[in-house]
Structure 1
Amino acid sequence: MKKLAVLFLASVLVLSACSGGPLSSGSPGPVQSAAEATASPAPAPTGPPPDIGELVAGFSFEYPPLAALYPQDGERGYETVVNNPDITGGLITAYEAWAEAVSAHCARQFKAYYEDCTWSVGSEMQAPGWQVLAAAALACETPRELIARFQTLVTPSVSVAADGEGHTDFEFALLPKTPQEAFPLSDIKGDPIPAELFTSTYLLTIYDETGELREDSGAFAGLSERLAFPFAERYGFSDCWYDDRDGGARRHTGTDILCPEGTPELACVDGAILAVGGGEGTGNYVVLEGADGTQYHYYHMVEVSQLVQPGNTVKRGDPVGLAGNTGNSTANHLHIAIIAPDGVYVNPYPYLLDAEDAPRQATAR
């Protein structure tokens, strides 16, 4: 496996604007000392100050070199970027060029509004991980579409420091979003989970920052709460984390619990229902979010769940759906996947072993 040429933002763009000096009078007058001389006030800005979010979202950028690297031969699986470091490196370079250009664009707008200011790029400026960039690229049809999506992968920020004498320092940063933020679930019942979310979380879990395959990525930070078992009965299950699937094409990133068709699947934590839908791989699914932002994915249900709706709150033990064999599945079972707040999968197996019995609830709320 080749290592990916992961590049980081290394250049810092610093644009400064100096205040103008005192305006001279048109007629002679008494000579003033330096202490007595005062600068003419700068003209007051007109209109509202620039909005950093609007400036970044509305910025148009062209990057022709991306066309030569962007996958165009029909091979659009994640293997394309994993096996071709030049493609992944090109995506990162394109993002860096966009970030530098958007910083200069915002600096011009702020300097036009504030007469005396300094614009700099902050130390928090970071590029999204190659895994997130690759996921976005594989979901786009053209380089232009990908460039337009860069702004959806980051949160722009500007910190302000004024010296009390009319000078203002602005420090600009683009903060990478997590996969859950960059590729949010739909709140429309029946919609599939975005392919970008699957791709980015899988790549973050299976491959490290340099593109090397992790031997076993199950040792990420643990969950913050003890789970309730997702069935009223303790059906058997085994640790199938990281097992080969689809003939070795991918690794398994969840736990399968075999059970009869139609068995109620229960909420394993108190939380909110983020999404209810169906997809080619997941079959019919429900996604539950816990209090700390951890997502619990329930796949292969017999039907799009009628027990919960997006936006519902549920308690441990509330039924959220009925077990089935839909999607990429060969038997009636629950595939439960857990995505931590930072966008990596967590092995559910040890937490299911330690799970408490689910309390019995009358209905989902």
Structure 2
Amino acid sequence: MFKIKLFPKIMAIPFLAVGLVILLFLGASTALSGGTPIINTDGYCFPVGGEYSYCDTWLAPRDGGERRHYGCDVFAKRGTYLYAIYDGVISKKYSGGLGGLSIWINTDDGKRYYYTHLNGFAPGIEKGVKVKAGQVVGYMGNSGNARTTPCHLHFGVKVNGTWVNPYPILKQIENAQERQI
């Protein structure tokens, strides 16, 4: 008659647990990557990969009405790829203040794109580096004053030094990409 010893059953538990962790990790990293970015015919790429959600929160009150929201928050899972919206140059890269981990991308047409609350920067992203639309520049997070909120990209846009509502810009890019699919 075949006897099963207790020791092999106990040893199987850690191996099973390690296997599940590896599967979950591999599955999560694939899901969070964001897939292949789509560059529309105007050369723009939506700045967040994978599944995301956002709405127009331009000038919404923050900190009990002490300040206004000069951007659009795009929500996604931690680690989701953040893409350069357009060809440009990283003009600032820093950590600290309200935004936490942040970058600015400047383009030749006078626009500046602000990415903040990042979880991290993509390798090679430094001040002065040229980026192409669709290039990974960072990863979704909730750094800075967003550490108690769900992960999101605070996306801001300045045109010739003036803040503009990024929501219509994001919708235009999203709609153009949907037409291409």
Q: TM-score, normalised by structure 1?
A: 0.35
Q: 2:174 matched to 1:339? A: no
Q: 2:140 matched to 1:323? A: yes
State the match for 1:348 in structure 2. Answer: 166
**5+ residue gaps in structure 2?**
1-41
Q: 1:281 aligns with which of 79, 91, 98?
A: 98
Q: Which has the higher contact order (CA 8 A, sep 6+)?
A: 2
What is the identity, as a one-letter code, of the residue corresponding to 1:345?
Answer: W
Counterparts of 1:96-175 in structure 2 under 5 Å? none
In the TM superposition, structure 1's runs of 4+ consecutive aligned residues that sit over 6 Å from their partners are none
Q: CA deviation at 1:306?
A: 3.5
Q: 2:49 aligns with which of 232, 235, 243?
A: 232
Taking the aligned partners of 1:232 and 1:321, their CA distance within structure 2 comes to 11
More displaced 10-residue stretch of structure 1: 327-336 or 227-236: 227-236
Taking the aligned partners of 2:45 and 2:170, their CA distance within structure 1 comes to 8
SS in 2 for 1:247: helix
Alpha carbons of structure 1 residues 318 and 290: separation in structure 2 relative to 1, 3 Å: same
Alpha carbons of structure 1 residues 340 and 278: separation in structure 2 relative to 1, 3 Å: same
Taking the aligned partners of 2:52 and 2:159, their CA distance within structure 1 comes to 25
Contact kept, 8 Å, 2:61 with 2:67, in 1: the verdict is yes
Taking the aligned partners of 2:170 and 2:132, their CA distance within structure 1 comes to 17
Taking the aligned partners of 1:328 and 1:265, their CA distance within structure 2 comes to 19
Q: CA deviation at 1:305?
A: 4.8
Taking the aligned partners of 2:169 and 2:144, their CA distance within structure 1 comes to 25
SS in 2 for 1:354: helix
Query: Cα RMSD (Å) of the superposition?
Result: 1.8
Contact kept, 8 Å, 2:90 with 2:106, in 1: the verdict is yes
Q: CA deviation at 1:234?
A: 5.0
Q: CA deviation at 1:226?
A: 6.8
Q: CA deviation at 1:232?
A: 2.6
SS in 1 for 2:54: coil
Q: CA deviation at 1:235?
A: 1.4
Q: CA deviation at 1:287?
A: 0.8
| Structure (1 or 2) with the larger CA radius of gyration | 1
Counterparts of 1:13-92 in structure 2 under 5 Å? none
Alpha carbons of structure 1 residues 269 and 353: separation in structure 2 relative to 1, 3 Å: same
Taking the aligned partners of 2:97 and 2:122, their CA distance within structure 1 comes to 16
**5+ residue gaps in structure 1?**
1-224, 359-365
Taking the aligned partners of 1:304 and 1:266, their CA distance within structure 2 comes to 11
What is the identity, as a one-letter code, of the residue corresponding to 2:150?
Answer: A
What is the identity, as a one-letter code, of the residue corresponding to 1:286?
Answer: I
Q: 1:301 aligns with which of 115, 118, 124?
A: 118
Taking the aligned partners of 2:100 and 2:63, their CA distance within structure 1 comes to 16
